[in-house]
């Protein structure tokens, strides 16, 4: 995985838990991990990330997902944001690389909150709009890079992250994989 350039926060996984979900694939067992305390660099882009949670369904389905909270750090309203998440293994090889867009009305300074559990991801609630899922074979997980790729303002102009700098690099520790 290419190293991100520019200001990047590197943090450790804060909490991981094993649980059961009634909404995710008929009460499957899953891991839910999260990070919510970031140094200043996560807020230096037009979109600031203040929470990242991810899960792994521990059954044969091998479902993964991630959720995040973000804030528009500019003085202009936005209508769309594109995020990229890159999961890497212990050898820094990419095991999952996904791009996801979120549309809506994002006023300056307002927190847009994502889910906090697997049940939230599958609930259909508003917080589920900041969650993305899929089935990938991820044998080991050592780091997650979260990159804000683009932001569209309501006047039609677009901010592009031309340097590819990550807002956040999470070192995954204390997991149950």
The model's pTM is 0.79
Predicted confidence at residue 103, as pLDDT, reads: 95
Q: What is the mean pLDDT of residues 96-125?
A: 89
What backbone phi and psi angles, to 5 degrees, belong to 109? 80, 0
Summarised one tens digit per residue, pLDDT across range 16-38 is 655 544 444 444 566 777 776 66
Summarised one tens digit per residue, pLDDT across range 55-69 is 877 665 667 788 999
Q: Do residues 20 and 159 make contact, with C-beta atoms less than 8 angstroms apart?
A: no
Q: What distance in Å separates the CA atoms of residue 144 and residue 131, rounded to the nearest whole number?
A: 15
- Kindly compute the dihedral angle of the four CA atoms of residues 137, 31, 114, 80, in this order, to the nearest 10 degrees: -10
| Residues in Cβ contact with 12 at an 8 Å cutoff, skipping those fewer than 6 apart | 35, 170, 171, 173
Q: Which of 138, 142, 136, 139 is nearest to 89 (CA)?
A: 142
């Amino acid at each position: 995985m290419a190293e991100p350039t520019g200001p990047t926060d590197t943090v450790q996984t804060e909490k991981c838990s094993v649980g059961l979900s009634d909404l995710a694939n008929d009460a499957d067992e899953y891991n839910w991990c999260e990070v919510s305390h970031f140094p200043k660099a996560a807020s230096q882009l037009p979109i600031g990330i203040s929470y990242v949670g991810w899960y792994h369904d521990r059954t044969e389905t091998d479902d993964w997902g991630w959720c995040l909270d973000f804030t528009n750090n500019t003085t202009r309203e936005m209508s769309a944001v594109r995020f990229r998440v890159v999961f890497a293994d212990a050898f820094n090889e990419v095991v999952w690389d996904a791009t996801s867009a979120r549309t809506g009305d994002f006023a300056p300074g307002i927190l847009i909150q994502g889910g906090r559990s697997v049940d939230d991801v599958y609930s259909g609630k508003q917080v589920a709009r900041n969650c993305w899922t899929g089935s990938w074979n991820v044998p080991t997980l050592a780091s997650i890079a979260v990159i804000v790729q683009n932001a569209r303002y309501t006047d039609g102009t677009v901010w592009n992250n031309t340097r590819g700098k990550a807002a956040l690099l999470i070192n995954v520790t204390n997991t149950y994989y």
